[in-house]
Structure 1
Amino acid sequence: MLKQFVRTENYTRFTAGIQAVEQRGAAEAGMMLVHGAPGFGKSHIVYHWAIEAGAVFLRANVDWTPKYFLVELAKELRIDPRGTAQQLFGRLLEHVVETQAPLVIDEAEFTLHQNAAVLEKIRDLSDRAEVTVVLIGMERIQQNIARHKQINSRIAQVVEFKPATLSDVTHACAQLAEVRLTPELVGEVHRLSGGRMREVLNIIAAIERVAKVNELTEVGMADVSGVPLSYDWQAHTPRMVATGRQTGRASRATAQVAGGR
Structure 2
Amino acid sequence: MDHTLLDVTILDDHADTRPAFVTTREHRRFTEFADTVRSHRYIGLCYGAPGIGKTLSARHYAGTDEWEQWHPLSRGTGALPPVPEAVQQSRTAFFTPTVAATIKQIDQGLPRACQHISWAIDYAQHGHVDPYVHAESQYSGNTELLIIDEADRLRTAGLEQVRDFYDRHRMGVILIGMPGIEKRLARYPQLYSRIGFAHEYRPLRSDELTAVVAQRLPDPDPDDSGLAHTAALAAIVRATNGNFRLADRLVTQVNRILTINKHTHLTPEAVDAAQEALLIGR
TM-score band w.r.t. shorter chain: 0.7 to 0.9
Which structure carries more strand by proportion? Answer: 1
Counterparts of 1:1-261 in structure 2, within 5 Å, are 3-24=19-40, 27=41, 30-51=42-63, 52=86, 53-76=90-113, 77=115, 80-81=133-134, 91-92=136-137, 94-97=138-141, 99-111=142-154, 113=155, 116-175=156-215, 177-180=216-219, 182-221=229-268, 223-224=269-270, 226-229=272-275, 239-240=281-282
Give distance in 2, aligned partners of 1:218 and 1:2.
22
Structure 2 vs 1, CA of residues 230 and 75 (structure 1 numbering), >3 Å: closer, same or farther? farther
AA at the equivalent of 1:154 = R
AA at the equivalent of 1:108 = A
Give the conservation status (yes or no) of the 8 Å contact 1:35–1:138: yes
Give distance in 1, aligned partners of 2:108 and 2:271.
52
Normalized against structure 1, the TM-score is what?
A: 0.73
Shift in Å at residue 45 of structure 1? 1.3
Shift in Å at residue 186 of structure 1? 1.5
Shift in Å at residue 103 of structure 1? 1.0
Give distance in 2, aligned partners of 1:109 and 1:238.
25
Shift in Å at residue 64 of structure 1? 2.7
Give distance in 1, aligned partners of 2:22 and 2:246.
14
Give the conservation status (yes or no) of the 8 Å contact 2:46–2:174: yes
Give distance in 1, aligned partners of 2:23 and 2:258.
26
Shift in Å at residue 69 of structure 1? 0.9
Normalized against structure 2, the TM-score is what?
A: 0.68
Give the conservation status (yes or no) of the 8 Å contact 1:37–1:138: yes
Give distance in 1, aligned partners of 2:197 and 2:241.
26
**Percent of residue pairs identical:** 26
Give distance in 2, aligned partners of 1:17 and 1:230.
38
Task: Work out the number of aligned pairs and report it.
Answer: 217
Structure 2 vs 1, CA of residues 152 and 3 (structure 1 numbering), >3 Å: closer, same or farther? same
Give distance in 2, aligned partners of 1:146 and 1:239.
36
Structure 2 vs 1, CA of residues 230 and 41 (structure 1 numbering), >3 Å: closer, same or farther? farther
AA at the equivalent of 1:44 = L
Give distance in 2, aligned partners of 1:194 and 1:178.
18
Q: Name the SS of the counterpart of 2:197 in structure 1.
A: strand
User: Who is 1:246 aligned against?
Assistant: none
Give the conservation status (yes or no) of the 8 Å contact 1:54–1:102: yes
Give the conservation status (yes or no) of the 8 Å contact 1:33–1:135: yes
Deviating runs (4+, > 4 A) in structure 1? none
Higher RCO (Cα < 8 Å, 6 or more apart): 2
CA RMSD of aligned residues (A): 2.4
| More divergent stretch after superposition (119-128 vs 129-138) | 119-128
Shift in Å at residue 35 of structure 1? 0.9
Give distance in 2, aligned partners of 1:71 and 1:225.
46
Give distance in 2, aligned partners of 1:218 and 1:194.
23
AA at the equivalent of 2:34 = I
Unaligned runs of 5+ in 1: 82-87, 241-261
